[in-house]
Amino acid sequence: MNPEPSEPRRILNRHGLRPTRARLLLLSLLLENEGHPSAEEIIETLRLRGNPISIATLYQNLNHLVEAGLLKRVKGLDSLVRYDANLVPHSHLVCEGCGRMIDIRAHTPPATGDKPLAYHSGGELPGWDVRTVRVEYRGTCPSCRKK
């Protein structure tokens, strides 16, 4: 998804965040990138585009964007924290060969509602307040299958 140049500014304003240069760069990059880049990948991409920022500025602003609900942190197979700007409920498909992670829409059973969730043994989980569901599929991507 390639955002309009003014879209990151509108999003930041709507969430009460000052549209600083670093936040605009980060949010623009993450909105246009359907992948799940690590902080190291983000800083390298910005550097290659002629928009270097310091590592401290990067992490400080990533934290602000996560706290504001504009990004999610996800852990990849490489145990690196990666960032996801897709806030629509979705699952991830992860390649066990290269670690590539893509968003997929998968039908999962509802996590909330009138009926309580059940333990794997079949017993109910009374009193739990489920806020999120995380489903991750693992397999081998086409590139790794060709190797």
pLDDT the model gives residue 78: 82
What is the number of structural domains in the chain? Answer: 2
Domain stops at, among 68, 84, 100: 84
pLDDT the model gives residue 72: 93
Residues 78 and 133 in one domain: no
Q: Which residues of 33-67 are buried (b: 16+ CB within 10 A; e: fewer)?
A: beebbeeebbbeebeeeeeebeeebbeebbebbee
Residues 22 and 66 in one domain: yes
Residue pair 27/15 in contact by the 8 Å Cβ criterion:
no
Q: Which amino acid, one-letter code, is at 103?
A: D
In-domain check, residue 126: yes
pLDDT the model gives residue 113: 52
In-domain check, residue 127: yes
Please tell me the number of Cα atoms within 13 Å of 52 on its side-chain side. 3
**pTM as predicted:** 0.77
Q: What is the pLDDT of residues 1-43, one digit of tens each?
A: 455 668 999 999 999 999 999 999 999 999 998 789 999 999 9
pLDDT the model gives residue 61: 97
Q: Which of 111, 66, 104, 110 is nearest to 85 (CA)?
A: 66
With a cut of 50, list the residues of the chain below it in pLDDT: 1, 110-112
Tokens of 113: 């509602």
Residues 79 and 38 in one domain: yes
Tokens of 69: 């609900």
How many C-beta atoms lie closer than 10 Å to residue 70's C-beta?
23
CATH number, domain with residue 118? 3.30.1490
